[in-house]
Amino acid sequence: MIIDFSLILKSIPYVLSGLPYTLGISLLSFMVGNVFAIILAFMRMSQKPWLKYPARVYISIMRGVPMLVVLFILYFGLPYIGVQLPALLCAFIGFSCVSAAYMAEIFRSSIAAVDKGQWEAARSLGLPQKSIIRRIILPQAMRIAVAPLGNVIIDMVKSSSLAAMITVPDIFQNAKIIGGREYDYMSMYILIALIYWTLSFTLELLEGYLEKRLATY
């Protein structure tokens, strides 16, 4: 048989032992990337050249360079200049930096989509700029950004499989180990595809819930 179902069933516990790495890299990078992305978005929207152009260059580079190349630079390239980082830290830094570039554009467009009258009304009340952004603009921008941010986190979960290329023991790396030992990569690839689909589907449901919840406010 092309697919060995008994091997798939026996391999599930070992493959899933890498799930904390897969979810940890994805979710922690997403949260840190969100904070960095908001900063980048406001830098990108700034009228000051010394803020605007560095943000534009950073976003362009991070969106233009493949994630695998970023991971290889961090893990295999940095040792050439005397910097050796653990594989897990390289994955965390890489995913955080790259995802921040994509999310920065999402936040920028979401903030721009907030009615300008909201800014003017808040200023007419004498609210300071920080309060306007934190209490009025960002909450509305987040509602607009939920769907595209959901796409980002789903993509990050799937892309976390690239961390296996720098020896992070995630679910994909564990599946490769069993595939090599049993000479049956096809069965392991089917298993790993089902696991990633399950994770993505769960995140889709969460995204839908948040959209409905925020739509009521």
pTM score, two decimals?
Answer: 0.90
Query: Considering the chain, what is the average pLDDT of its residues?
Result: 92
Of 71, 116, 121, 122, the C-alpha closest to 97 is 71
CATH topology of domain 21-168: MetI-like fold (1.10.3720)
Report the 10 Å Cβ neighbour count for 12.
Answer: 12
Residue-wise pLDDT tens digits, 53-76: 999 999 999 999 999 999 999 999
Residue-wise pLDDT tens digits, 158-169: 999 999 999 999
CA distances from 65 to 73, 112, 134 (A): 11, 26, 32
Which alpha helices (H) appear in 65-184, and where do they start and end? 67-72, 87-113, 116-124, 129-131, 138-159, 171-182
Q: What is the residue extent of each domain of the chain?
A: 21-168
Q: How many whole angstroms separate alpha carbon 77 and alpha carbon 94?
A: 13
Of 108, 114, 106, the C-alpha closest to 147 is 106
Q: How many whole angstroms separate alpha carbon 76 and alpha carbon 90?
A: 10
Residue-wise pLDDT tens digits, 23-38: 999 999 999 999 999 9
